[in-house]
């Protein structure tokens, strides 16, 4: 269990329930391991022996109560043991999932994008549960089962030695070491198969997640049967992997029982040869049975630990992933910044890819509205994503009012930036709480004013519960234009000195777009604005335009200057003017 040692810290907060569970388990083990054999040895002879002294009613009643007394002790303390260990287990599971989820919150976006969403969910749900079962089962059974075994073997040793000496003890216990062989064999076979099951569960989760996120496309292209067939394939693989685990897990118990039965048979032959009394033999059999049961449980514990190890391997992909974008040890103390941005010889590449930005140097003064234009893959979005440190530059540096971004805390940096994406994400919560994302401490009046500024207040009031209307997952109950207006309202509420607009009005109808363009004119006053331009109509008010090509800024300036002197800019502009469509980004 050395593999799990670093994770025993999750047991600290529930150490008293676990201590109580272990104590109850010890009492259960003693009652189970020694109580029944003692009853066979001490009680039965007094009742059934032919030459026994006749018993009075009270004495007979006391003897008869031995059996229910043993089972009451076993039942009560077994129940308390199970209840307490489940109580501890559920709290451990909560801690594991929160730790996993918290780590996901601080990992770089690049890492999240490389993973499959369904698989990350499976690791957080299924693998954490497997690890929790391994931790709490070990914490419980590592004391409970050995106590049962020691109680049974102790009684067995005492009885066998007092009856026939050391030889009977050796005969009774000779087979017990052999029961370890199937445990070791199954453990070796199980770990790779358990890991495969966990991986296949992630594939199935990803299949569900991908399908639900593409519900419109599935119906639009008539992919229902194809998607069902795809799920059937991955679930068939899961079943195959699960059955390989079942094959070994379920083979362990009968293997131990067959070896145990062989040992009892050998003891039976020896007992007949030596003329052992019936009551002594039956009590030995009871003790042997009580010793083999915890061996089976310890074998199961071995299996659980292997499954837990496989789950841990998958969890550690996330838990041990380094947090490469983090706060500096001593962040610079800042308040509200002005918004001056500067890129100094910045190069950036996504892991293993060619550079997305190459030796970019540009200064954007505070209060300037700057449009980023260029063909698809030119580096516009990458440029904007480096400002809030969604990624870190591979080389060079970026400054915000003269502060290197890596010298600022992430909270302080991002508090000075507002973002409106082309496809805004809303949470499955009320309109009001979705607007509060812009500034969590905002008052109701501030929220309503931001909504008015974004021309969203009237449509919000028309919803069934107004600001308390739940918008559904990703804002499914709202139109695209309504979702976009709420995203713009968030930016009004945040009122940050730097504003990043990724074609913020693209989902609006013409009337709403005109209104929002007017609202944005008010919003951008005194702010540094980066507009990732897909439609040239959105950059008409930009005082600075950066033209990107193959990760470089090949030109900068105003529209007239760039149209006259930059062929790429002129070609993109003319293409859109001729077709009425925006160049892709």
- CA dist list (Å): 244 to 193, 250, 427, 490: 7, 10, 40, 52
pLDDT at position 347 over 90 = yes
Cβ–Cβ < 8 Å for 168, 185: no
Q: Which residue has 């992630």 as its token pair?
A: 202
- Identify the H or E element spanning 532: strand 528-532
Q: What is the pLDDT of residue 416?
A: 93
Alpha-carbon torsion 384, 385, 388, 394, what sign? negative
Structural domains in the chain? 2-319 (1.20.1560.10), 341-579 (3.40.50.300)
The pTM of the full predicted model, rounded to 2 decimals, is 0.71
Tens digits of per-residue pLDDT, 249-288?
777 777 777 777 777 777 677 777 777 666 666 767 766 6
Average pLDDT over residues 437-460: 88
Q: How far apart are CA 312 and CA 128, in angstroms?
A: 8
Q: What is the pLDDT of residue 155?
A: 67
Identify the DSSP state of 59.
Answer: H
Encode burial over 440-471: b for 16+ CB neighbours within 10 A, e otherwise: eebeeebbbbbbebbbbbebbeebeeebebbb
Using an 8 Å Cβ cutoff, are 62 and 16 in contact?
no
Residue-wise pLDDT for 212-260, tens only, equals: 777 767 776 777 888 888 888 888 888 888 788 777 777 777 777 777 7
At residue 513, the pLDDT reads: 67
Strands 544-549 and 552-557: antiparallel
Residue 82 has pLDDT above 50, yes or no: yes
Residues 6 or more apart whose Cβ sits within 8 Å of residue 433? 427
Phi, psi at 510, each rounded to 5°: -60, -40
Q: Is the pLDDT of residue 133 over 90?
A: no
Q: How high is the pLDDT of residue 584? A: 41
Decide if pLDDT at 306 tops 70: yes
Q: What share of the chain is helix, strand, coil (3-state, %, to 5)?
A: 65, 10, 25
> What is the edge-to-edge ordering of all strands in the sheet holding 395-400?
357-364, 341-348, 395-400, 403-404
Average pLDDT over residues 94-115: 84
Residue 362 binned pLDDT confidence (cut-offs 50, 70, 90): very high
In whole numbers, what is the pLDDT of the chain averaged over residues?
79
**497 with 527: CB under 8 angstroms?**
yes
pLDDT-derived band at 42 (thresholds 50, 70, 90) equals low
- pLDDT for position 185: 72
Spell out the residues 6+ positions from residue 548 whose beta carbon is closer than 8 angstroms to its own. Answer: 372, 373, 374, 378, 379, 380, 383, 554
pLDDT of residue 486: 87
DSSP secondary structure letter of residue 560: H
> Torsions phi, psi of 441, nearest 5?
-95, 15
pLDDT digits (tens, 9 = 90+) for 462-504: 989 999 998 887 777 887 778 888 888 898 898 899 999 887 6
**What does residue 337 show for φ and ψ, rounded to 5 degrees?**
-90, 170
């Amino acid at each position: 269990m050395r593999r799990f040692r670093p994770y025993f810290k999750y047991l600290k907060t529930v150490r008293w329930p676990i201590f109580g569970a272990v104590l109850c388990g010890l009492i259960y083990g003693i009652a189970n391991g020694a109580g029944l054999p003692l009853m066979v040895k001490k009680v039965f002879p007094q009742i059934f022996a032919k030459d026994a002294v006749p018993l009075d009613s009270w004495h007979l009643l006391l003897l008869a109560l031995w059996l229910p007394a043993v089972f009451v002790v076993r039942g009560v303390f077994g129940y308390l043991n199970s209840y307490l260990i489940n109580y501890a287990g559920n709290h451990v599971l909560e801690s594991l999932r929160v730790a996993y989820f918290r780590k996901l919150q601080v990992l770089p976006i690049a890492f999240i994008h490389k993973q499959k969403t369904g698989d990350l969910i499976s690791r957080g749900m299924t693998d954490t549960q497997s690890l929790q079962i391994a931790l709490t089962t070990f914490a419980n059974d590592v004391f409970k089962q050995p106590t049962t075994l020691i109680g049974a073997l102790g009684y067995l040793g005492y009885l066998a030695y007092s009856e026939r000496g050391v030889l009977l003890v050796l005969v009774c216990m000779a087979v017990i070491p052999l029961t370890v062989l199937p445990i070791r064999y199954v453990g070796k076979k199980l770990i790779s198969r358990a890991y495969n099951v966990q991986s296949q569960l992630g594939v199935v989760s990803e299949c569900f997640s991908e399908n639900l996120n593409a519900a419109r496309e599935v119906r639009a292209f008539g992919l229902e049967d194809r998607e069902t067939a795809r799920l059937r394939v991955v679930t068939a693989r899961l079943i195959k992997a699960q059955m390989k685990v079942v094959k070994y897990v379920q083979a362990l118990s009968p293997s131990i029982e067959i070896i145990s039965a062989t040992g009892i048979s050998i003891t039976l032959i020896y007992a007949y040869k030596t003329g052992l009394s019936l009551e002594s033999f039956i009590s030995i059999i009871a003790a042997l049975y009580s010793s083999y049961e915890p061996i089976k449980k310890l074998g199961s514990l071995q299996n659980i630990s292997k499954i837990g190890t496989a789950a841990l391997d998958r969890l550690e992909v996330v838990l041990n992933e380094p947090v490469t974008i983090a706060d500096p040890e001593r962040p610079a103390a800042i308040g509200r910044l002005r918004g001056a941005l500067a890129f100094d010889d910045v190069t950036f590449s996504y892991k293993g890819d060619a550079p997305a930005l190459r030796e970019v140097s540009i200064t954007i003064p505070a209060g300037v509205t700057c449009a980023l234009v260029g063909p698809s893959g030119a580096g516009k979005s990458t440029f904007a994503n480096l400002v809030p440190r969604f990624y870190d530059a591979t080389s060079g540096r970026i400054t915000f009012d003269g502060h290197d971004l890596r010298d600022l805390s992430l909270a302080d940096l991002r508090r000075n930036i507002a973002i409106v994406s082309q496809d805004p994400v809303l949470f499955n919560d009320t309109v009001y709480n979705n607007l509060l994302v812009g500034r969590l401490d905002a008052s109701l009046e501030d929220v309503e004013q931001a909504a008015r500024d974004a021309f969203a207040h009237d449509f919000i009031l028309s919803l069934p519960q107004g600001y308390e209307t739940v918008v559904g997952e990703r804002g499914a109950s709202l139109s695209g234009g309504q979702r976009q207006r709420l995203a713009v309202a968030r930016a009004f509420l945040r009122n940050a000195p730097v504003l990043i607009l990724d074609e913020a009005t693209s989902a609006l109808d013409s009337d709403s777009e005109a209104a929002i363009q007017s609202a944005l004119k008010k919003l951008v006053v005194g702010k540094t604005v980066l507009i990732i331009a897909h439609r040239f109509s959105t950059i008409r008010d930009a005082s600075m335009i950066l033209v990107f090509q193959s990760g470089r800024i090949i030109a900068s300036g105003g529209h007239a200057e760039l149209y006259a002197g930059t062929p790429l800019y002129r070609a993109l502009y003319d293409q859109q003017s001729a077709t009425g469509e925006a160049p892709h980004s």
